[in-house]
Amino acid sequence: MTLATVAAASGEDVVPFDMSTTQRTVFSAFARARRKFGGKRVCVIDVDDSERTYDEIMRGTLALGSALRHGTHQGESVGVLLPTGAGAIVAFLALSAYGRVPAMLNFTAGLAALKSALKTAQVKRIVTAKRFVEIGGYQSLIGELSKLATIVYLEDVREKLSLLDKAAAAVGQFLPSVVSAHADPDTTATILFTSGTEGEPKGVALSHTNLVANVEQVRAHLALYPADILFNPLPAFHCFGLTVGSLMPLLLGIKVVCHPTPLQPHEIVRRIKEHGATIVVSTDTFVTQYARAAEPGDLKTLRLTVCGAERLRDETRAFVRKKHGIELLEGYGVTEASPVIAANRPGANKHGTVGQLMADMKMRLDPAEGIANAKRLVVKGPNVMLGYIKPDAPGVIVPPPDGWHDTGDVVTVDEDGFIAIRGRLKRFAKIGGESVSLAVVESIASALWPEHGHAAVAIADGRKGEQIVLATTYKDASRQDLIGWAHNHGVPDLAVPRRIVFVDEVPVLGTGKTNYGVVQKMVDSAVLAEAKLNE
């Protein structure tokens, strides 16, 4: 009998959103979940397949938090440089329990971006692990960061726990509210950072209410059950991986299987099968790799496979359905919304859309200059951030105007409220006075050559303003084939790239999104080299 059948038989369904349940800190929400589901319940399966119960996570959280508070003050930002796993979860909760603010650092972003993040969030201390540094080869990176902040290794902290720290864990496991800080739920719970592909990364300050509300919104949107097992390979520095992949299962009594990197498709398929995972959170880029690595039947336990962070391609959807019988659900979010804004769901899965808005959210559709039949999406709700922290004003939170966040995404919305993303406003090329979505260009290439990577960018054109260049890993790609596909499918000629640049691979960020900043540099370099040859 499937989980869905069990739920139907017991009358279980989605739980209506209740704003009153969100007025608590992340730590108090965790403590509440422990009481509800039982301290002996296994809630986390770590990267080495070892199991952690709610009681074990609680004791580790309070002991570590007691130790980490020394030398810091309440409300201070403390950097967390760790991969997805029990260590990252405990470090986050430990800092949060004692009123410190975990600033989640992207170890794939490079030294310049990390230095900027430390400055922006005013981080003076970074929590990491020796094993992570050694396995990842981050010794030189840590050496540079140590010039700006004190590096604290989890292994050292555990070895040197004082009697006071152990007492905090001993007392706190029975009365957590006695030893933990009592922060205002509407104060900063964490700081995450934008990708920085269009300049220095901005800090995004999210409150406890933001995070807890988004968990409750997802619960109210999808049928989730205590028998579910969620597999999370997404990084904790990415909001999808933090909120949906790590905090949500803990707060809802769902067991989470942690994996430290999304870049191991064969190992990930093995662990999904071994642990009988029922839910996977992923991206188009990564789920394609897992589906190719898996044999038919390997993924048969999955009932919800949710993709976000980037557009879900029709080719990916069709391939996964044909090979594994899995219906992919596309969702949509931004870090500034903690992150989930909308999602499809079983029985209400409209292809080509990212689904319907989360409970208690409002949307406003503003004009998108130069783009016909689409609007700019602006959102408001309990999950929308406290505000940005900008590199030129470290530590200062700038709230969104009247609580409304401009996503920068251009959308259409149908009569049933399903949202279709037409592209980011910055991802439109201006050609002869008309706006052309670069996402459409990539869709054409993906339809023709689905097994290869493609990315479209715009470069300056003296005659028409801009021209589109396609970077592709398919060495036999031709413009003629692109023209033919466009004509056969009613796509205007303007959406056909003027040039094609061949690359060994399309660069991606640690989150799985295409790294358009690097793609732009690759294309600019190739076009410059071509120009020199023609001189």
CATH number at residue 470: 3.30.300.30
Residue 178 has pLDDT above 90, yes or no: no
Closest listed residue to residue 123, CA positions, set 91, 90, 76, 81: 76
The verdict on residue 159 lying in a domain is: yes
Distances (CA, A) of 89 to 51, 84, 94: 13, 8, 8
Same domain assignment for residues 88 and 32: yes
DSSP 138: -
Residue 419 falls inside a structural domain: no
Q: Which residue has the higher pLDDT, 298 or 165?
A: 298
**pLDDT in the model for residue 6:** 33
Domain identity same for 381 and 456: no
Q: Give the domain CATH number at 326.
A: 3.40.50.12780
How confident is residue 496, by pLDDT bands cut at 50, 70 and 90?
confident
Whether 191 and 57 map to the same domain: the answer is yes
Q: How does pLDDT run across 202-221, given as a tens digit for each residue?
A: 999 999 999 999 999 999 99
Q: Is the pLDDT of residue 169 over 70?
A: no
Q: How many CB atoms lie within 10 A of CB 201?
A: 24
Q: Are residues 16 and 74 in the same domain?
A: yes
CA 43 distance to own-chain centroid: 21
| pLDDT > 90? residue 425 | no
Give the percent of the chain with pLDDT over 70. 94
> Which of 112-126, 205-219, 480-494 is the least confident region?
480-494
Phi-psi region of 395 (alpha: psi -120 to 50; beta: other; left: phi over 0): left
The four Cα atoms 516, 282, 344, 278 give a dihedral, to 10 degrees, of: 180
Domain count, the chain: 2
**DSSP annotation string for 211-252:** HHHHHHHHHHHS---TT-EEEE-S-TTSHIIIIIIIIHHHHH
pLDDT at 197: 54
Indicate whether 382 pLDDT > 90.
yes
Predicted confidence at residue 485, as pLDDT, reads: 87
pLDDT confidence of 5, banded at 50, 70, 90? Answer: very low
Domain endpoint, select from 413, 440, 466: 413
Looking at per-residue pLDDT, the higher value among 197 and 473 belongs to 473
409 and 437 in a single domain? The answer is no
Over the chain, what is the mean pLDDT?
A: 89
Report yes or no on 422 lying in a domain: no
418 within domain boundaries: no
Structure confidence by residue, pLDDT tens digits, 499-525: 899 999 998 877 677 888 888 888 888
DSSP H or E run through 48:
none
* Mean pLDDT for the stretch of residues 375-404: 96
Same domain, 398 and 454: no
Both 126 and 259 in a single domain? yes
Are 230 and 291 found together in one domain?
Answer: yes
In a domain, 424, yes or no: no
Question: Are 385 and 261 found together in one domain?
Answer: yes
Give yes or no: residues 388 and 294 share one domain: yes
Q: Which of 127-141, 180-194, 275-289, 434-448 is predicted with the least confidence, judged by mean pLDDT?
A: 434-448
Per the structure block, which two tokens stand in for 242? 């933090």
Q: Which structural domain range is residue 467 located in? A: 432-534
